[in-house]
Amino acid sequence: MKTRTLFAGVIAIAAIAAPLTAHAQGAPGGFVHGMHEGYRIAGPVGAVVGAPVGGVIGAVEGVFGVGPRYYQPTPVYHRRTVRKHRHTR
C-alpha cells in the first residue's frame, strides 16, 4: 500500500512540475537580452550586471507565463467639418 501511495505521489508531483519546467525556458533568453541591453547602455559593466538581472526576469516571466507584449494605442480620429461662410456685400 505504501508503494502505491508513493508512486501516486511521484506521478502527481511530476505532473505539476512538468509545465513549470517548460515555462522556465525564458531564463536563457532573458539572460541574453539583459546582456545585450546592458552592453548597449553601459558597456561591459552593464553587460555583467544586465545578464543576471535579465535571466531572473526571463525566468519569472516564463514561470508565470507572461510574455513580452507591445502596446500601441489605437489612433484617435477626429472628424472635421468644413463650413463655408457666405460673405454678403
Residue 15, classed as helix, strand or coil, is: helix
pTM over 0.75: no
Tell whether 40 is covered by a domain.
Answer: yes
Residue 72 belongs to some domain of the structure: no
Asked if residue 69 is part of any domain, the answer here is: no
Residue appearing with cell numbers 526571463 = 58
- Position 17 in a domain: yes
66-84 average pLDDT score: 78
Residue type present at position 82: V
CA pair distance 76, 8, nearest whole angstrom: 57
51 domain-assigned: yes
Total count of domains within the chain = 1
The residue-averaged pLDDT of 44-59 equals 84
Q: Is 80 helix (H, G, I), strand (E, B) or coil?
A: coil
> How far is residue 75's CA from residue 80's CA, in Å, rounded to a whole number?
16
pLDDT tens figures, 12-45: 666 665 555 544 457 777 888 888 888 888 888 8
The reported pLDDT for the residue numbered 23 is 46
Mean pLDDT of 44-60: 84
58 burial via Cβ count (<10 Å: 0-12, 13-18, 19+):
buried
- Print the domain residue range for 37: 2-64
Residue 56 has pLDDT above 80, yes or no: yes
